[in-house]
Structure 1
């Protein structure tokens, strides 16, 4: 019997679960897992998250915090608690995102990253199992550069263009997450097109270009395709360093019996060092790339909104006596 497409894909690429749903992670047993504010908020809304939420709130309250500070600390603790639970189910790493409202503040991003790592340390989690997830703004990339120099591994997210990937390579970040599906969505709307053949899919082509650039220049930063709209997009990037895939697509790949072959193959490095991208050049390139600039800001705004929704959920959930009212 032919192995499933998912089994074949795992032989070519590290598969990462793009989910905070503990049951889905337990089902598919990926090596790594990624989370973001939207996924955390969705997971926190589930009844089986009640115990985690109560524990997070209790821990924050025990620190003597009140009002806004209490809720914000609860969100950070809850985010880490989900990460801890995920790590019990996988062998690799979990990505945990810094508050997106800090995306344009280098120092605040660094401080928040260290706060999250301190929480993980309090639960006995080794720092090497955590990827600090940061938006690929110039300020975020510079924060990652500082963190990486201190041995703190980072995942640069909301990445839509080669200029962002170049800056991440200069910063020697551990991993980047170019967003395949969101790029496709943007081009479909901008060009009023319903469908692209997979060999012309703008999101797939973007990741291929970044992958080829990294491998040809000997960049050690790993490429992890993210934000997929179909299994066809996933399979079109077979051979990428990593692919983070939502549970519904993982289920489809598990049922798929088609043959899977590597589509991305690392070319020999020329050992030619790419010129460093300076701040002015980065911001100019981002301004000129309407797709990348719009999607970066939209993504940041979306993650801020998701955190605000979680903030509201927690405020509604706890009364003066700290009793959960979900």
Structure 2
């Protein structure tokens, strides 16, 4: 599995690259602006992006801001022209740029993906929340699709009446196995008084209990990525899946177990991945056990 770092902070990118485990970078305009603002006018946004592209050992995903196909195509080609001389660039295109659903823009993202891909420009399809969206992006020729695992976890928790900051924190792991067990218990209780299959199937109480714990049959962000990979493998799509909106190291592990092509990981999650209490404890014991005679082996004569 490739690891992209999800940040716009140049020092974080350099540090992670020095560890030898980073294969690319994902970022967004607001993160870039914050990073540039922290430098208090010492560097322009364009030059700052060039530095990110130079440092990255692999593709840097850069986002368009238009919503119509012609705008996104023009902006994507401009970003590619400006920054690809300095390294590898992928253009981030939203799978569906419509905001209100009534603007006839639903398929403009696919049009832009098709056009840019036909020009040989790598496209990272972003804001993917369903396997259906991922399928359409792959058929349009996207180089990458980025399902937002963490946001789906948040959405499912919100459907169950849970509030971020009160019932869970942004970095908390969604235990989908526990959630499934709880759902089955609630369903069992809801069905207990029914006298027929028809009554169970038509029960609003049963449907309410069932529907709150998933998003159209998707039970977690990890489950979303699982189903996308299943579809891609069934039809031999060349499009690679980037597990995005990663919130914790356990999510990274579960994505790796699925065989996802890429996970884009925040800097703080990368640092958490290397830590374990028993590793630190083992190091302390190891250092305590080093005898003087062994230490002398490393002394220069």
- Give the TM-score normalised by structure 2: 0.67
User: Could you say which residue in structure 1 is the equivalent of 2:77?
Assistant: 114
Instruction: Using the TM superposition, give the Cα deviation of residue 168 of structure 1 relative to its aligned residue in structure 2, in angstroms.
Output: 0.5
Give the Cα–Cα distance (whole angstroms) in 2 for the partners of residues 33 and 114 of structure 1.
19
Is 1:82 aligned with 2:30? Answer: no
Instruction: Using the TM superposition, give the Cα deviation of residue 131 of structure 1 relative to its aligned residue in structure 2, in angstroms.
Output: 0.1
Instruction: Using the TM superposition, give the Cα deviation of residue 35 of structure 1 relative to its aligned residue in structure 2, in angstroms.
Output: 1.1
Instruction: Using the TM superposition, give the Cα deviation of residue 25 of structure 1 relative to its aligned residue in structure 2, in angstroms.
Output: 0.7
Contact 2:36 2:48 in 1 (8 A): no
1:231-270 to 2 correspondence within 5 Å? 231-238=249-256, 239-256=259-276
Give the Cα–Cα distance (whole angstroms) in 2 for the partners of residues 257 and 28 of structure 1.
22
1:1-326 to 2 correspondence within 5 Å? 13-29=1-17, 30-47=22-39, 50-53=41-44, 78=45, 80-99=46-65, 102-103=66-67, 105-120=68-83, 124-125=85-86, 129-137=88-96, 138-193=107-162, 194=167, 196-199=174-177, 202-238=220-256, 239-256=259-276
**Relative to 1, partners in 2 of residues 1:22 and 1:180: Cα closer, same or farther, differing over 3 Å?**
same
Report the count of equivalent residues.
214
Q: Secondary structure at the match of 2:41?
A: helix
Give the Cα–Cα distance (whole angstroms) in 2 for the partners of residues 204 and 42 of structure 1.
30
Larger-gyration structure (1/2): 2
Q: Secondary structure at the match of 1:157?
A: strand
- Give the TM-score normalised by structure 1: 0.62
CA RMSD of aligned residues (A): 2.0
Name stretches of at least 5 consecutive residues in structure 1 with no aligned partner: 1-12, 54-77, 260-326
Query: RCO (CA 8 Å, sep 6+): is it higher in 1 or 2?
Result: 1
